[in-house]
Structure 1
Amino acid sequence: MNWSTLTRPEQIQEIIEESKQKPVIIFKHSTSCTISATAKGRLERQWDDANLENVTPYYLDLLSYRPVSNQVATTFGIEHESPQLLLIRDGKCLYDASHLGIRLDEVKKQIA
């Protein structure tokens, strides 16, 4: 799994544009939370077997970039949670899940 990092508010518009060509996920991670670390590790272990090579994964360290995380929540009309995974397609958030409810099989269903 090759994460692209989300560190600047301007990237949100770039992600919206990219999502019009192919699906994008944003994983909001708290580096101080063990549940977040567990969710991130599970995503990384399952990624290759999930056959999501057409999906770009973005990683957002929300402790370092909380204003960016807040902007993501505002832009896509979702409530901030951590950890949280959002699936963005055609400029809209089609799926969001948090904590151990984050499941790549659900992402696959949304993009099938």
Structure 2
Amino acid sequence: MNWNQLTEVEQLQTIKEESYNYPVLILKHSTTCSISSTALNRLERNWKQEKVGELKPYYLDLLRYRPISNEIANLFKVEHQSPQVLIIQNGECVYEASHFEISFAELEGAVA
């Protein structure tokens, strides 16, 4: 899986713009949380790019970049969770899951 690192608040505007061309995935991950590590591992183990088409994945380290997480909640009108995945299409969050609800099969269905 080829993650794009989300390290600057300004990238959120880029993500929003990109989402008009193809869906964008944001994974909010806490590096010290076992549930978050499990969700990340399951997602990476099952990832098949050909099944999600042009879905572009971004990875956010919540502990290092908490202000970005807060801005994601504001910009895309979602409640903060950790771990959490969001799919952004046409500038809006069209899918959100957290904790053990995060699964590749669900992501695949959301972008189909």
Deviations 1:14-69 (A, max 9, x none): 00000100000000000000000000000000102772241100000010000001
Cα displacement (A) at 1:96? 0.5
- Structure 2 unmatched runs, 5+: none
Pair 1:83–1:50, CA change in 2 (3 A): farther
Q: TM-score, normalised by structure 2?
A: 0.95
Give the superposed CA RMSD: 1.2
Give aligned-pair identity as a percent: 53
* Stretches of 4+ aligned residues off by more than 4 angstroms: none
Report the secondary structure of 1:44's partner residue: helix
**Equivalent residue for 2:89?**
89
- In structure 2, what residue type is equivalent to 1:55? L
Q: TM-score, normalised by structure 1?
A: 0.95
- Cα separation, 2, equivalents of 1:51 and 1:42: 16
Count of residue pairs brought into register by the alignment: 112
- Structure 1 unmatched runs, 5+: none
Instruction: Please say if 1:29 is aligned against 2:62.
Output: no
